Amino acid sequence: MKHHQVTYGSLLHERRRALHARIVQVLEGLSPHRLAEQVDRLAHHAFRGAVWDKALAYGQQAGARAAVRSAYREAVGYFEQALVVLAQLPECHDTLKQAIDVRCELRNALLTLGEQARIFDYLREAEALAEQLGDDQRRGRVTGYLCIYFSNMGEHDRAITAGQRALALATSSGAFDDQIVAQTALGIAYNDVGAFRQALDFFQRVRALLTGEQRSAHFGQVAPPAVTSRGRAATCLAELGDFAEGRELGADAVRLAEAMGQPYTLATTLMFVGVLYRRQGDIAKAIPVLERGLALSQSANIPRVFPLTASILSATYALAGRMAEALPLLDQTLERIATGSRMLFHALVLTELSEALLLVGRVEEASTRAGQLLELSRTHTGRGYQAHACRLLGEVAMRRDPLDVDQAAGHYCQALVLAEELGMRPLQAHCHLGLGTLYAATGEREQSRSALATAVAMYRAMAMTFWLPQTEAALVQVTAR
């Protein structure tokens, strides 16, 4: 090996380049029907041999193959190499189109790694190139991706504006694929802002449009829209308390994701379904789903999914009283987010971490995280998470010693107003339970009875049986006084 390196290094630059170009010819000639198996080597030698047209084609193919097997870092390397190649080629209509497409592929690979800043830079470059070309179809596609980026970063007004523009461009160009992407993106944007019914409407449109083999098509997305529209809809329905429909959609999403065999899609889908089970209090269902998703995110090295799933699972363990499992996972998740930088689903992570910290008795840490969530919800996240933050801060005030009555009542009432406006019935039930418990502690029996009776009725109606026994017991106690 050392002799080979010395010999290679002594070759003149032009001779080395000619050697690499010749290797490309030999590989193509030896097994023309098996080029796909050699694409990594072909990409390497074509690039080194300055065979730019082949370096571009093979580089894109190698990047796509790496993404399929979830080797996203490797995929990023190939796609960035393709951009270097494009800079060597004459600028024309075709190379500009390819430059846009490669940047979209880069966006997908970087999304799985959670590298939002780089995603934005590449999308802005792609947007400028699409404008230069006057290509409405690609402009619509890139704008749809920008919609998702703004949603991920909590910039909801920009997300919805971008999504609406993407849908208009896709509709005018007649591009079915881009209409699917735009409608999925708008569903995500409305979901994140707390407009759950509007989000469900877009997800329903996507599901209605995608039938047969289209249900496994990616349409340029990391996860197929047919899966995303089901998984995301399940979380919307969880917030609204429509658990039966949410469970059906969630199970369908898992079946589709399993059939595709793509770790990223399955890991995120399991996370969405785990959220639904956790919100309903179905611990027996939530834990194995979340454990499976967490293991997959680790074995497939999908860093963006770990803190999401781990935060939900730690709260679920704590809810189940399994503190020995909750605590190390909770601390590991807190360590992962210690940098303070924004991550995907940042508000969801803060919500679940605050809940877990409360359940394990670390009230001051819970107060800090819930306060961060409230601040985030006022600047970058929708009113749905503001409602969650207020309820959590009410729980924090309830656990203070001495009990902070005014703070608890104020936060619960604020959360209840928001939850009622947004149709978040499970959160309403939790607020009524909190207020009923607070009123009982302050001797306001009639107010306590009314709030607890409302909570009992709501928990029963939504089959949220985990919280029902304690709420019924509290109601009996306050009524008997």
Per residue in 251-290, pLDDT tens? 999 999 999 888 999 999 999 999 999 999 999 999 999 9
Is 475 domain-assigned? yes
Per residue in 105-161, pLDDT (tens digit) is: 999 889 888 788 899 999 999 999 999 999 988 999 999 999 989 988 878 889 999
Please tell me what DSSP assigns to residue 36.
Answer: G
181 is a domain residue: no
Instruction: Determine, yes or no, domain membership for 449.
Output: yes
Contact (Cβ atoms closer than 8 angstroms) between residue 72 and residue 42: no
Quick one: pLDDT band at residue 1, thresholds 50, 70, 90? very low
Which own/partner pairs from 300-303 qualify as long-range (CB within 8 Å, at least 24 positions apart)? 300/70, 300/263, 300/264, 300/267, 301/70, 302/70, 302/112, 302/263, 302/264, 302/267, 303/113, 303/114
Average pLDDT, the chain: 91
CB atoms within 10 A of CB 121: 14
Residue scoring higher pLDDT (412 or 55):
412
Burial (0-12, 13-18, 19+ Cβ within 10 Å), 158? middle
Is residue 389 included in any domain, yes or no? no
461, part of any domain: yes
Q: Please indicate, yes or no, if residue 433 is contained in any of the structural domains.
A: yes
- pLDDT digits 0-9 by tens, 300-315: 888 888 899 999 999 9
Overall number of domains in the chain: 1
Average pLDDT over residues 353-366: 96
Report the pLDDT value the prediction gives residue 444, as an integer from 0 to 100: 94
Task: Give per-residue pLDDT as tens, 379-409.
Answer: 666 789 999 999 999 999 999 888 889 999 9
Tell which residue, 445, 455, 443, 391, has the closest CA to residue 418.
391
> Domain for residue 472, yes or no?
yes
* Residue 458, domain extent: 424-481
Q: Is residue 430 part of a domain?
A: yes
Residue 47 in 3-state DSSP? helix
Q: What predicted TM-score, i.e. pTM, was given to this entire model?
A: 0.86
